[in-house]
A and B are shown apart, each in its own frame.
Chain A
Amino acid sequence: MVVPPELRYTKEHEWARVEGSTATVGITDHAQDQLGDMVYLDLPKVGTTLHQLEKLGEIESVKAVSDIFSPLSGEVTDLNDEAVKSPELVNQDPYGRGWLVRLALSDDSEVDKLLTAEQYEALLAQEQGE
């Protein structure tokens, strides 16, 4: 599984790319692999206020639907319309063209509560062992 070292992660398999006071958010390679072929994205409107680990939306694959949780608190500034139109981008490029939303962060210190790439890899190894 691909786990880019510069990103931060949640236990629910979301990632965040933090740049100053903004963050780009998506689901991890492990998550897209588990869910299978994506067919629908249900994302919040621009302007929505989210809290850390609050449900952000839903992602649905042929086989299952999964809740997406916001890694950080903030306001939604952008949605990835391309991914909404072509959800398979989330399968093909989960950390790039498959990004989901951008947030204007309300509390930078929350980033420290997220998992590092190393910690997320350890989580994946643990889950696989179960």
Chain B
Amino acid sequence: MSESESLRHTPLDGQHRALRARMVPFAGWSMPLQFAGIIEEHRAVRNHVGIFDVSHMGRLYVSGSDAASLLSRAGTYDARRLEPGQGHYSLLCQEDGGILDDFYVYRLAPNRFLVVVNSVNADRDRDQIRSLLEPAMDATVEDRQESTVMLALQGPRAIETLARVMGPEVPQGLPRRRCTEAQWQGEALFVSRTGYTGEDGFELVAAVEPGRALWEELVAAGAQPCGLGARDTLRLEAALALYGNDIDTTTNPWEAGLGWAVTLDDGAAFVGRAALETARSRVERRLSCLATAGPGIMRSGCAILHGGQQVGRVTSGGYSPTLEKSIAMGYLPSPLAAEGTNVEVEVRGKRLAARVVPRPFYRRPTARRSPSEPPVS
């Protein structure tokens, strides 16, 4: 059996192959690494609009009058605080506080939630959440990964592009981090104003057939097909954590700058709460942003040196098409995590000069300036 036969395929696999995407294995799936090229796709998202097939991510629908209560015990963010139409970032933890995954929880209705988890952890996360179900609870956890398609439409033109396909009402009316269930071509379509690129945009969930049609129509409306390569360069520029690289069972949320995803005050007794309450006061290192000046690319695993001594390792690294230099993230001892600290990063035996820079590396322009206004310095 060849490797590609044992990999899973998303419902859009045919579309990707028709576009001659370079396919690679990822978390047990055959996924497009790139279509036109990583840098071209990255710039398309920063300047226009790109579309990603993220159907490989786990999608769980949690329903019932105890759904909120169940989710408030499963994740660090207290899902009971969400109003219908709101979403929030959260973490799934072990009893000892170690992070098992990061995910997004959306409240669709008082008793219905959508939970989107990383593909590499999808089955384990589903089982962990289900393990918290008690006989007296009125809640079900339905795994709809196989029966749905998920797309990410990202970039400054995302709103107008989505409006061209589904009308302007939802795209123009949905505030950031809000979600809704709309109707499109007679079927239910989940739309959230969220993303993993640092740009404005949407994430969309539909059943398989309408999902395929939605991909085709959005591409026809001008969205550039983008793969995992650009997904990684974009999120790195936005300094967004990647589970398995920047956060894992050995990191705590406050070291990673993710304390805002943890509800401790008046929150629920979520798995790992006691351990995290202790961890919160023991933040000895911080996930820092590093940038180089010259050639060479910092990559995950490279040693970070200060004064000739190793003080950390790169957790995520790569090339920034926007800044045209290498950028990386890694944990540094708190005293060294200050902006401007000079370090060296060891890349294939060579030491590259790098500096701690402010987070994020890239921030999308928020205000629209008229051409006659001077640029913000």
A interface, CB within 8 angstroms of B: 36-37, 39-40, 42, 60, 62-63, 65, 88, 91
Contacts and interface: CB of A to CB of B under 8 A. Distances in A.
Given A39-B297, A40-B295, A40-B297, A63 B229 contact: yes
A91 B37 contact: yes
Contacts of A62: 38-39, 229, 233, 318-319, 321
Contact of B348 (A39, A65, A88): A65
B38 A63 contact: yes
Contact of B39 (A40, A60, A88): A88
A51 B51 CA distance: 47
B296 interface: yes
Interface residues of B, number: 16
A20 to B, nearest CB: 33
Nearest to B36: A37
Nearest to A36: B38
Given A36-B229, A39-B319, A65 B297 contact: yes
Contacts of A37: 37-40
Contacts of A63: 33, 38, 229
A62 B322 CA distance: 13
Q: Which of B22, B39, B40, B318 has the most CB of A within 10 A?
A: B39
Contacts of B229: 36, 62-63
B34 interface: yes
Given A37-B38, A65-B348, 4 more contacts: A42-B295, A62-B319, A63-B38, A65-B297
A37 B233 CA distance: 12
A85 B37 CA distance: 19
